[in-house]
Amino acid sequence: MGLFDGMDQMGLKKISQEDLFKADEPAKKGAPAAAEVKAKPTITEESYLLERTMDCPVCGSKFKVKAVKSGRVRRIGQDKDLRPRFEQMDTSKYDVVVCPECGYAAMTRDFKNIMEPQKKLVLENIKPGFKYEEPGSIYSYDDAIKRYQIALVNAMTCGRKDSEKAYLCLKMGWVIRGKGESLDKEAEDYEAQLKKCNDDENEALKLAFDGFIAARQKEEFPMAGMEQSTLDYLLSVLSMRFDRYDIAAKLVTGILGSRVAGPKIKDLARDLKEEIVEHQKAKEEG
């Protein structure tokens, strides 16, 4: 008889002596160090959140989601691809609403925006067998990634616009980047986990890139809330990331020559232009 025998009968994972004092160790390959990722921000992050009651437009049930209190977090900058950074927390984790009853999910701003035929599609294709529990306190990065996945499945099921699906992929990529940044550098498998995050982020952003390129050929601006100059700037950054400097150069030239693009986006585009020139030079020199 071991001290921890019988735990499985209560539906709990058996604890081994070895594991007991190694709480920091990530559970399994592929899985995030969930407990750890959560542990650090809990105290502060929770105080910037509120619970919002939502009415599901698809199944009519009421449920609670966590949302960031407006005006409480301070924006301190952005990544090159426009991912916003806030001093207190990563707000992108809280931008998807999931109905735990029927599985309908969308970005908060689009949640109410669903037509009757699409509701039927959700009820027929997503609701059967859907199992989801709203996380208890804060959303860990893995909770958030899961929420974006559910939203993406919904967007596909409902035939949402390419720009909307691309935007979900972009945001998911940002959240995965956040996860990579939050990993415990002391963890034994830190390198492996970071590599997985980088790979996943690349995959999400490549989907966003392809989706926005497709959308740009058939949809009207604004697209996913972005004016043309903003989207073209974002696409330039993504083009460079995926080694399509030809596309980036064309888009940047368009932004710099645009009469409607604002001075801020032109400044950003100018920085990109320099990078593109550097890249071409390096390539020629070889």
Residues that bind Zn ion (CB under 5 A): 56, 58-59, 99, 101-102, 104
Q: How far apart are CA 31 and CA 136, in angstroms?
A: 19
Tell me, what DSSP letter sits at residue 166? H
Cβ(230)–Cβ(251) below 8 Å: no
Tell me, what DSSP letter sits at residue 223? B
C-beta of 104 vs 233, nearer to Zn ion: 104
C-beta of 127 vs 250, nearer to Zn ion: 127
C-beta of 67 vs 214, nearer to Zn ion: 67
C-beta of 157 vs 258, nearer to Zn ion: 157
Helix (H) or strand (E) holding 58: none
- In terms of Cα–Cα distance, which of 60, 71, 37, 21 is closest to 193? 37
Smallest distance from Zn ion to CB 275, Å? 45
| Amino acid found at 107 | M
Smallest distance from Zn ion to CB 57, Å? 8
Q: How far apart are CA 181 and CA 161, in angstroms?
A: 31
Smallest distance from Zn ion to CB 55, Å? 9
> Bridge-partner residues for 78, per DSSP?
84
Smallest distance from Zn ion to CB 172, Å? 21
Smallest distance from Zn ion to CB 50, Å? 21
C-beta of 149 vs 202, nearer to Zn ion: 149
